[in-house]
Amino acid sequence: MARRKPATTHGLAIVDKPVGATSHDVVGMLRRRFGERQVGHGGTLDPDATGVLVVAVGMATRLLRFVEKTQKEYVGEVVLGVETDTLDAAGRVTATYDMSTVTLDQARAAAAHLTGPIQQIPPMVSAIRVDGKRLHELAREGIEIERQPRPVVVDRFDISATDDPLVLHIEVECSAGTYIRSLAADLGTLLGGGAHLRGLRRTRVGSFTIAESAGPDDCELLPVAAAVRSLAPVTVDDATAALIANGRVLPAWPGDGPWAIFDDNERLLAVSERFDGPTRSAGDAARPTDRFADQGDLTAKPAVVLPVRP
């Protein structure tokens, strides 16, 4: 089998995903545009949703997990009185309720119960894998399985009125892994009926905002280091850089990490994370950095080491 040609284009694109396109569709668009196969995205958006989709090209794909873990921000609308099998406007209506008496104050009070650390059951239309198959694939086959609740954090769940008393405008800031369609459905249940989500738009992923995004054909390719711009930066000398390149455990820098490691030329070398495990196996000769773990001090270990480029 022929070896895949190494990527020659590297960077990060902040895409404003258009409605109707899947996140995978956007990846395909950027593969064709930049002539690279090594392209991936940091956090799926539903086809009907729009907004910020962070797409990495080449070497930047190795850093996507530091994008995926970040806080997200969304706006959208909750339609009261109508439940669907997908919890959004794309689904089939499964139940209707008279919720004409629900007030804005009642909706805000219900939203307060869905704010903070909560347990959320993933919808059947999610991309989570169970026994090797994604939930949305099972849902298309008419199969519904029991899902375990997952902990998420909703930092802000603001509700305001629209021209339609049965439609609420929402703004949500939340942790990675939060399903906004589930928040909409749970809000309807707490209000004594049902609801679904429509018009979802993601306005922020970590430090990447809708203001700096553009369509797949127009988005700018940012430097690889943009992928870790929200991490604590550390500049190291050549000797320390060599240790990091060899995967050595070192005394950690201030803060909890992860840390973006740069050389004196402002070139991103690696990302290191806090490390609490052993630094040597029994019988190994002691190394200078081992004493930090032996003393129980905070240590750091490279999580991603980027290849040296000219």
Catalytic site positions: 46
Q: Rounded CA gap, 64 and 228, in Å?
A: 9
DSSP state of 215: -
Helices (H), 126-196: 135-140, 180-190
Inter-residue contact 147 to 179 (CB < 8 Å): no
Q: Ramachandran region of residue 273, left (φ > 0), alpha (ψ -120 to 50) or beta?
A: beta
DSSP state of 192: T
- Contacts of residue 230, defined as CB under 8 A and 6 or more positions apart, other chains included, come to 66, 70, 206, 207
DSSP state of 237: -
Helices (H), 157-245: 180-190, 238-245
Instruction: Find the largest Cα–Cα distance for the chain.
Output: 74
